[in-house]
Amino acid sequence: MKIVLLGYMGSGKSVVGRALAEKLQLVFLDLDDEIKVQEGRDIPEIFKTLGEIYFRRKETEVLQSLLNSDKDFVLSLGGGTPCYGKNLQLIKNSGETTLIYLKTSLEELKKRLWREKGTRPLIQDLGSPEVLEDFIRKHLFERNFYYNQSDLIILTDRKEIGEIVAEIQQELS
């Protein structure tokens, strides 16, 4: 069984993924972390020195090799992963994979991401919460087309991590 979590930056993919993997006794993998390890530098550094196109290529390469492996896992994608190249098709075509969208409201994403934007290359230079909100709104409009092709959509607003995990487990059973 391979469980793949997607959603916008700040939707809780990593923290939910880790908790879900623990519950299901599966290995947890985070695509950004896998890229970081392979490249020997963190994501903002890769964007800065090698550019986004390089990052997107690497992202596809690492995703493909994880999907090709025989191992079972819970994998958290980056927010943009399903929206580039053939990534979404790669996931959907690889058997035994359940794709889950963690859907968080614009209002909640704005709150979370304004606090954390320093570590995120795509938004770190946005100057005010209002500009950030416009950016996320436009991005979600473009990305929802991909996100909505998931097998399962879980709303995350006002839910504890444990509640989200329990809801996913129930849907999977």
Minimum distance, C-beta of residue 116 to ligand S3P, in the bound complex (Å):
9
CB closer to ligand S3P out of 95 and 132: 132
Binding span for ligand S3P by CB under 6 A among 87-95, 96-104, 119-127, 156-164: 119-127
Minimum distance, C-beta of residue 173 to ligand S3P, in the bound complex (Å):
27
Q: Which of 57, 121, 134, 146 binds ligand S3P (CB under 6 A)?
A: 121
Burial class (CB in 10 A: 0-12, 13-18, 19+), 96: exposed
Binding status of residue 17 toward ligand S3P by CB under 6 A: no
Binding status of residue 85 toward ligand S3P by CB under 6 A: no
Q: What is the contact surface with ligand S3P in residues (CB under 6 A)?
A: 9, 13, 32, 43, 78-80, 120-122
